[in-house]
Amino acid sequence: MPIRPCFDLKIMAKLFPLFFLSVLTAYGQIVETVTTHPKITDGLHCDPSGNIYTCSGGLVNGREIGKFDPISGVYDPFFANGFFGPIDIEDIGDSVFFITNYDVGTISKLVLSTGVVSSVASGLDGPAGIAKDEQENLYITNWGAGPSFDGSSIHKLTPQGDLTKIVDTSLLFRPQAVTVNLEGELVVHSQKKLYKVDLQTFEIELWVNLPVHFGHMVMREKDSCIYGAANQDHGIYKVDYHGNTTIFSGGNIGYQDGPIDQARFNSPLGITFTASEDTMYVAETVPGRLRRILMNLTLDLTEKNPKGKEKLPNVTYDLLSHVIKVNNYPINLESLRLLDISGNYRGTIELNNGSATIDTQLFPRGIYFLCPEKEGRHGSIKLFMYR
């Protein structure tokens, strides 16, 4: 299980290649490249441990699901095989994946513990996007199979395996991007429009006119916004609760990492969030690249001193000695626990008058948390350590 921080102070420091440290200001957001491979072409999915799963795409002889491990930094493009044009992934119970097979009109089930792949539904018209509701019903958009490629429907697949067409309307043409909003409504994209589908009556209505096409999209609960990957317009767009649409990052074709207002993308298509919703991942179809956007990289809430002023530790990195230094830790403790992203204890870091030193060469690359010795205390520092 991933760590679920229950602390008031979360300072996130990012260590880039060669352990270059960047401490971002409040609400700083930055884009970085994770890995590049031609099999990264379509939908993405993130499991509770932060692993990212990639789809190799329809109409391009895609047969694989890939897996990126953020701890080791290793990407396996052939993590699972036996698919036919995989476009999107959804999970049930964190241990079973359902995958849309665009090329053959089926839905596959992948059991992670055994690696067994089986077909659970067939007869769909170019299945593309997939989303689930709180009852773990799956909703599949049909982009449309060749030669006409004129899909206009949505199917529902129940946990019992019952497949039903719930929407078939001329309002939809080649629908793909789909998600479930905070009200439990299905939101689906078609031709620069977002529609809402009532999952009780299956009635569909226009919600938002967009300036761009969304390839895939995802709901983020933290800010009640939908984020969509605009494949043809090379950007990530944000739709708020009221339907207001703004560009979040990109918008001009190219390739550039850095702050979100300077970053550039080339045909972004897949999009997903980690369980904490602190990190967004984006799949670019050209050249097949996985990008990561670190969201709101500093504090959410703060530890207050008696006068009500914020007290923040200062985090620095010494390039020559490969040492992270934490100064002015706001809680009077003798030591901190170092945990990895899975919550495993990796060592004790001594505090001396509120200061600590960490030799990064002693630990594998990955995500770590500096936490107080007693669980439930405030004050956690989250560090990204990558060579």
pLDDT at 360: 76
- Domain, as residue range, for 134: 31-294
Q: What are phi and psi of 225, to 5 degrees?
A: -120, 150
pLDDT at 94: 74
In tens, the pLDDT along 183-205 reads 999 999 999 999 999 999 999 99
| Sequence letter at residue 148 | S
pLDDT at 382: 67
Q: Are residues 223 and 329 in the same domain?
A: no
Last-in-domain residue among 266, 294, 322: 294
CA 133 – CA 143 distance, rounded (Å): 20
Decide: helix, strand or coil at residue 101.
strand
pLDDT at 330: 67
In tens, the pLDDT along 58-81 reads 999 999 999 999 888 899 999 999
Q: Are residues 53 and 118 in the same domain?
A: yes
Q: Are residues 6 and 111 in the same domain?
A: no
DSSP assignment of 7-60 equals -S-EEEEEEEGGGEEEEPPTT--EEEEEEE-TT--S-EEE-TT--EEEE--TTT
Cβ count within 10 A of residue 56:
25
Q: What are phi and psi of 122, to 5 degrees?
A: -145, 175
Decide: helix, strand or coil at residue 347.
strand
Residue 14, pLDDT > 60, answer no
Greater model confidence, 296 or 278: 278
Q: Are residues 287 and 312 in the same domain?
A: no
Q: Are residues 302 and 275 in the same domain?
A: no
pLDDT at 121: 98
In tens, the pLDDT along 349-374 reads 888 888 888 887 787 766 677 777 65
Pairing relationship of beta strands 380-385 and 10-16 according to DSSP bridges: parallel
Q: Which of 131-145, 213-227, 267-281, 287-301 has the lowest mean pLDDT?
A: 287-301
DSSP state of 229: E
pTM here is 0.74
